[in-house]
Chains A and B, each alone.
Chain A
Amino acid sequence: MSPKIGVVTFPGSLDDQDALRAIRKCGGEPVSLWHGDDNVDGVDAVILPGGFSYGDYLRCGAISRFAPVMAEVIKAAEAGMPVLGICNGFQILCEAQLLPGALIRNDVRVFVCKDQDLQVESVDTTWTSEFTVGQTITLVLKNGEGGYVADEDTLQRLEDEGRVVFRYLNGNPNGSFHDIAGICNERGNVLGLMPHPEHNIDPLTGPTQDGRAFFSSVFNFLAAKV
């Protein structure tokens, strides 16, 4: 039986359909979740997709973080369910304090849209076990508020605990501290990153298929769990 991966659609989500498609193309069973749902029953993992939920009003992710479905996502994440936040999803995970730090406006003050080189720093997460440490990958990056910031103690802890999962390579596109592109929680089941793996699964529409390993990683994790 293929694993069921839920994708939450918030008002203003943009990449929910691409995430659903990527799950299907990589061999999983995509499940649409709605921001107003009061449960995530029946899914094995959850993706919070990219976009501009609630128009980025107040702060990116600040209002979505309190959507009814998020209470269930937070509970499930704390119980160990794999959760992946992509771009706006990463911002929501930080606002929900499932991940430390915050994302602020790019230091270059323009919306960045490019194929971004990344270095894989950790494979000890449910979403990155199919990569190798030090591997260089390329994913689509497209955001206006992708500058990762956190206080010194938090950054030190992330580094010491091996929780920086991806770092920008060949130039820092947005002013993120320590060139951080993605981080995970202590347990490694919650991952947030600014680049978009769901856009890099098909040779027709992406320069690489490096996004596929995110999905195969979580499928393997879920298969091993059963």
Chain B
Amino acid sequence: MARVVVDVMPKPEILDPQGKAVTGALARLGFAGMSVRQGKRFELEFDGEVTEERLAEVRRAAETLLANTVIETFDVRVEPTPESAGAVDEAQNSQAGNNQAENNKAENNKAENNKADGSEAQSAEEAELAARAG
């Protein structure tokens, strides 16, 4: 089994209201200084090898349906699957370890910032409610 991943992102010049909403929510939770843009990830699975022809076909599929190239860009890549190599597993494990450390750090930041930003979070939420009512 082979897997090809297609990542689709809104073009930089296109407003990303979903990303903006997530950015705002993260800030309210204390994850400061992050600017988020939200895209989509598609996983395409095939039997057998990923050939050049297969990749060309995926690119055509991405251009035809998965992405709207008026407003989005896409990126096609082959992703190793669990059965493809032991080396990959090891790499993923160490990655997971790093992630754990990152998570702990984030948790700490979050706890600290929550105290400081409590009032600000409140007012941002109120602003959003007011906008809805309007």
| A interface, CB within 8 angstroms of B | 58-59, 62-63, 66, 94-95, 100-102, 104-110, 147, 149-151, 175
Contacts and interface: CB of A to CB of B under 8 A. Distances in A.
A150 B14 CA distance: 9
B16 to A, nearest CB: 8
Contact of B17 (A58, A62, A104, A151): A104
Interface string B35-75: 00000000000000000000000000000011010110000
B68 A59 contact: yes
Interface in B89-111: none
Interface in B1-30: 10, 14-15, 17-18, 20-21
B72 to A, nearest CB: 8
A104 B16 CA distance: 8
Contacts of B68: 59, 62, 95, 102
B132 interface: yes
Task: Report, as a range, how many residues of chain B touch the other chain.
Answer: 10 to 19
Interface string B115-134: 00000000000000001100
A62 B14 contact: no
Name, among B10, B17, B18, B66, the residue most crowded by chain A CB atoms within 10 Å (CB to CB): B17
A107 B16 CA distance: 8
B14 A58 contact: no
A110 B131 contact: yes
A104 B14 CA distance: 9
B70 A106 contact: no
B71 A108 contact: no
Given A102-B68, A104-B17, A109-B17, 20 more contacts: A58-B65, A58-B66, A62-B68, A66-B65, A95-B68, A100-B70, A101-B70, A102-B70, A102-B71, A104-B14, A104-B71, A105-B17, A105-B18, A106-B17, A107-B17, A108-B131, A147-B17, A149-B70, A149-B71, A175-B15
Contacts of B65: 58, 62-63, 66
Name, among B20, B21, B70, the residue most crowded by chain A CB atoms within 10 Å (CB to CB): B70
B70 A150 contact: yes
Contact of A147 (B15, B20, B21, B132): B15
Nearest to A111: B132
A109 B20 contact: yes
B113 to A, nearest CB: 23
Nearest to B132: A110
Contacts of B15: 104, 107, 147, 149, 175
Contacts of A104: 10, 14-15, 17, 71
19 contacts: A58-B65, A59-B68, A62-B65, A94-B70, A95-B68, A100-B70, A101-B70, A104-B17, A104-B71, A105-B17, A105-B18, A107-B15, A108-B131, A109-B21, A110-B131, A110-B132, A147-B17, A149-B14, A175-B15
B58 to A, nearest CB: 16
Nearest to A103: B71
B17 to A, nearest CB: 4
Contacts of B66: 58
Contacts of B20: 109
